[in-house]
Structure 1
């Protein structure tokens, strides 16, 4: 059964006159007559009967009109939904966020989605970039908001400059010394990300490349930005984004141990597999890119 025949039928039923329906639809009367014949043959029943100079629906025709309108309405809504999906204004985007970007980028991302794409929903997973990349590979995520790299497997689109430094509680004994060097950092125990995390690898290499022992790790965690109270209440050293050290949630508990050798410059942004973005995910990236471009001006 052709949708075009259903639309013609609905117009004929509404106008109750083949001539007027032909004018409204810009079709010939014979074409509309054939349309009715096709539908009646498919249903095995008459749809119209003569009434004065016009026509009217039979009992079967009246019931079929209700069905035809439901079919047409469902089709129209489905096409509108698909158009919105293709334009990126509808759909679900599965977003993975690292601990840092969950605090600093995710709120901005959610605000942009709420303001500009009311029919797009988000599904958010918080984890380390190492874990989230595996979720991307398994098609459990559309994109990651986290630390970007030169990894050729993924598309990396940077938005924000980030600095990772050694930090400690503000009244830590290390601040009583002047001219703190790498060897001085080895006098204390640390709380660090797990060994497979990129920032941990970088820090370990800083010491190893200078023929020094690696930091003595007392606690390993994949949620380092969330344990500022622990860091602020112990003599443990940590390796944190400056965004976390300076964030109001740290309540001034933490202070940077300024040392050039242990200052990591990196970028935060979007990570995804080539050729996998949905239109809604593409729209989300466009919004985030415009936001940070405008903020930089």
Structure 2
């Protein structure tokens, strides 16, 4: 049984049409037919029934599709683990981090670690959480330091609890809202810099105003980049946004000030993620423990 045959059969189960399978896989229709015949001969049973211009899966065909999915996942996991093993044998640790935690959380530990572990090298990916999760699942990363909302559950990943970081509503120093009464309606009337709709941070802001019976505020600038990369825009305008308290303490947060609004909504858990079913080399495990201990000690 060939893995590629199972992939083609999975496409056939999805499209129910040999011609469309050929289009999707880049094979000829004749080649697709031969693959189907080979599988039926191998299992000595009919896998599809022809129906008009298409096909319908038999009971055996449905079983094979389920097993093909299992095999595909196993193959993908094998490639991910081999990539991790190759990286480990070279003494390389592949770690991702969200921009808000780069300077305040990861880099200090990284600086101390590289000073004493000269044989270890790092590949660093700085992305938003969703992209880091994808890189982890694809086997491109060993670890990822991210924020996670309580409602998020992912069966492919597991994580170590690091702590909690609070978001604050921030603006440039001297902004008119810095000394104004803390009225949510004033925040609603302000001009905001926010992530695109659907982003976790955007949902937190929208929920804040909804809890106060208000419509979302005016978003003057929307971005798919991390807000932490656009703080110069805040320093040179009257826009407001939300940033973590840790980010405010870094160079990116200079000349910015937290506005006097407190809410438990503006909190996110910091977690160190890795794949649930994977091999973590001793090199990666040692750094994982070091990073976790360094961050939970604060």
2:192–2:218 CA contact under 8 A, matched in 1:
yes
Q: Pairwise mapping of residues 83-232 of structure 1 onto structure 2 (< 5 A)?
A: 91-150=91-150, 151-153=152-154, 154-178=157-181, 180-221=182-223, 222-232=225-235
Name the structure 2 match of 1:240: 243
2:288 and 2:212 mapped to 1: Cα distance? 40
3-state SS of 2:109 partner: helix
SS at match of 1:139: coil
Shift of 1:266: 2.3
In 2: Cα distance, 1:110 partner to 1:277 partner: 22
CA displacement 1:244-292 (0-9 Å, x = unmatched)? 22334433x2111121237512232311221224212221111112323
Is the Cα–Cα contact under 8 Å of residues 203 and 262 in structure 1 kept in the other structure? Answer: no
Q: Distance in 2 between matches of 1:201 and 1:249?
A: 23
Residues of 2 paired with 1:149 and 1:272: CA distance? Answer: 17
**Once the 2 structures are TM-superposed, how far is the Cα of residue 203 of structure 1 from its aligned partner?**
1.6
Structure 1 residue 156: Cα displacement: 2.4
Question: CA 1:116–1:198 in 2, change beyond 3 Å: closer, same or farther?
Answer: farther
**Alpha-carbon contact 1:142-1:277 (below 8 Å) kept:** no
Partner of 2:61: none
Q: What corresponds to 2:275 in structure 1?
A: 273
Secondary structure class of the residue paired with 2:153:
coil
Local SS of the residue matching 1:235: coil
The aligned runs of 1:18-97 (5 Å cut-off) are 91-97=91-97
Check 1:181–1:261 CA distance in 2 against 1; reply closer, same or farther (3 A cut).
farther
Tell me which structure has the larger Cα radius of gyration. 1
Q: For 1:219 and 1:198, how far apart are their aligned partners in 2?
A: 17
* Secondary structure of 1:186's aligned partner: helix
CA-CA distance at 1:185 after TM superposition: 0.4
Gaps (5+ residues) in structure 1? 1-84
Q: Would the aligned equivalents of 1:112 and 1:287 in 2 still touch at CA under 8 Å?
A: no
Summarize the Cα distance change of 1:204–1:275 in structure 2 as closer, same or farther, 3 Å threshold. same
TM-score of the pair, normalised by structure 1: 0.63
* SS of equivalent to 2:277: coil
Root-mean-square deviation (Å): 2.4
TM superposition shift of 1:134: 1.5
Tell me, which stretches of 5 or more residues in structure 2 are unaligned?
1-84
What SS does the aligned partner of 1:147 have?
A: strand
SS at 2:220's partner residue?
A: strand
CA distance in 2, matches of 1:239, 1:198: 12
